[in-house]
Amino acid sequence: MRIRGNDKITAYLDKSEALLDLHPQPADLTNTHRYDDLRLEIGCGRGAFLSQMAEANPNVYFFGVEKFVPIIARAAALAANKELSNAHFYKMDITNALTIFPEHAFSIIYLNFSDPWPKRRHEKHRLTHARFLAIYKKLLRPEGWVELKTDNEMLFDWSLHSLHHAGWEVLEQDRKLSGEAPIGRENEGRYKKTEYEARFRGLGQPIFFLQAKPPVN
């Protein structure tokens, strides 16, 4: 993977040191107890979504996870530039999440414009595959849910099938998510645009959205 801006990584890392764990250990959530809830974005990219959400919801603590140092460094540097105190970032693979975060820690998990892995032989890499859904179920609070946004209709339809097969309840689905938030709902994740979403909407592509919660047992 070729990532632009690699020459700036050191500056990003220096700027974001307090907000970024490159070699994660089990998370200490002691300082998050004063927040109403905790939320997690998996594959947070350059951090535009997470920083917008943290800025708009100061009573919520947000965690971002990303596998690649150049990308997660930019995300954390953006949050540091905004002087956000309710955001933290981990360079890690989500398969290791249960070694870092305690079970039932999060009220919402966000999957924004995840890699669709279009080839059938790569299905197990899609973030709505059953092996990942099992992890999310353990990470979510009993009343919690997952939100997915994508421009890829194949991934959306496949995710609906995967969720159904795993016993999840799809609470809401929208095949043409509005780019404008209704009054009073501006701070919801579905209406905060990632870098990808802004680009896709500019090209006139529909944005697909779903919200789903895991089975009780």
Q: Give mean pLDDT, residues 116-124.
A: 93
Spell 119-144 as b/e; 16+ CB within 10 A means b. eeeeeeebbbbeebbebbbebbeeeb
Measure the CA–CA gap between 8 and 38, rounded to whole angstroms. 30
- The DSSP symbol for 193 reads P
Q: 102, 73 in Cβ contact below 8 A?
A: no
Average pLDDT of span 63-80: 94
Q: Does domain 12-213 have CATH number 1.10.3720.10?
A: no
Of residues 28, 115, 157, 174, which has the active-site annotation? Answer: 115
Instruction: Return the closest-CA partner of residue 139 out of 170, 111, 174.
Output: 111
Could you give the angle at which helices 69-81 and 48-56 cross, rounded to 10 degrees? 30
The token duo for 64 is: 């971002």
pLDDT beyond 70 at 1: no
Give catalytic status of residue 7 as yes or no: no
Question: Where do runs of H (alpha helix) occur along the chain?
Answer: 9-16, 48-56, 69-81, 97-100, 130-139, 153-165, 195-202
- pLDDT bin (cut points 50, 70, 90) of residue 11 is confident
By C-alpha distance, which of 96, 34, 95, 29 is closest to 63?
A: 29
pLDDT of residue 158: 98
* pLDDT-derived band at 2, boundaries 50, 70, 90: very low
So what's the pLDDT on residue 12?
Answer: 80
- The full set of domain ranges for the chain reads 12-213
**pLDDT for res 8:** 78
pTM: 0.93
Question: Higher pLDDT residue, 24 or 212?
Answer: 212
pLDDT at 3 (0 to 100): 44
